Amino acid sequence: MSRQSQHMVPKFLLNRFSREGRNKQIYAFDKHTGREFCANVQKVAAETEFYDIVGEVPHSLEAGLSEIESLAAPILTTILKNESLAELNPRNRRILAAFCAIQFLRGQFPRELMRTVGRNLASRESTLSGNRIEGPTEREIKIAALTELGRLEKWAPHFESKVWMLLKHPGPSSFYISDTPITLFNEDETVPIGGLGLAVRGVEIHLPLDPVITLAMYCDTITSTIEGIRPTCRETEAASWRRRGGCDHENEELPRRSRSGEADPT
């Protein structure tokens, strides 16, 4: 296993947000301290052995993550060049769904969440039992996070099943990227606990691809209410599917796509 820094966000994605120059530099903001600074892309959003388990039988996910990144990079480059998803075939869509699932799971946030929940549960158990209960160790948290990261068959379908579209920023400001680049938002006030689960009704998922364009993955319950978007998505999907030879007749229905359920997997 390598002692080199392992990125939480792929360098090819960070490079798109870097400033012009010989050395790739990216502007950064530490929301905990309020500090603003400029850093080399090689050193930002990265930690040593972040995806490695050190022990009698060493294990690392770095090679597997790099393989999926290498598959996703040219697909995203084509999407940005064309500013369109019309040519995205089912295979490439699955690759990008897996890539998005990785970006959702691979950073610090899932580990921070596990750490907080584990400590809160331990504190509660200590209070109820009268005995001191320890929370999970850092090694246990790391193993749990990497285990989930290896279960793409569980997480990727929640991205693949959404309605996909590209959003272009009109300016003059721009999109930002962070060490947790997948963002969730939900305006549906009827769903519980903020509604920020991947399979919750009304969820909106975004992955910024560069300062101007973001990949949006929306629950179909909200795209049907946005004027002009739902018909456009279906027409684009229909045209693309027919070009791939999936339909012999102009009016033949598209194949049904699986939809995510109401339960929040997180």
pLDDT in tens, 59-86: 889 899 999 999 999 999 999 999 999 9
Domain around 149? 5-243
- pLDDT at res. 75: 97
The pTM of the full predicted model, rounded to 2 decimals, is 0.79
pLDDT in tens, 137-152: 999 999 999 999 999 9
Residue 199: inside a domain: yes
pLDDT average, residue stretch 8-15? 92
Among 49-63, 97-111, 185-199, 217-231, name the one with the lowest average pLDDT: 217-231
108-128 per-residue burial string, b: 16 or more CB within 10 A, e: under 16: ebbbeebbeebeeeeeeeeee
Residue 71: inside a domain: yes
Residue 256: inside a domain: no
Residue 183: inside a domain: yes
Residue 266: inside a domain: no
Q: pLDDT confidence of 111, banded at 50, 70, 90?
A: very high
Residue 105: inside a domain: yes
How many domains, the chain?
Answer: 1
Residue 207: inside a domain: yes
CB neighbours of 48 closer than 8 A, spacing ≥ 6?
3, 4, 5, 6
- Higher pLDDT residue, 70 or 192? 70
Residue 216: inside a domain: yes
- Higher pLDDT residue, 134 or 238? 134
- pLDDT at res. 116: 93
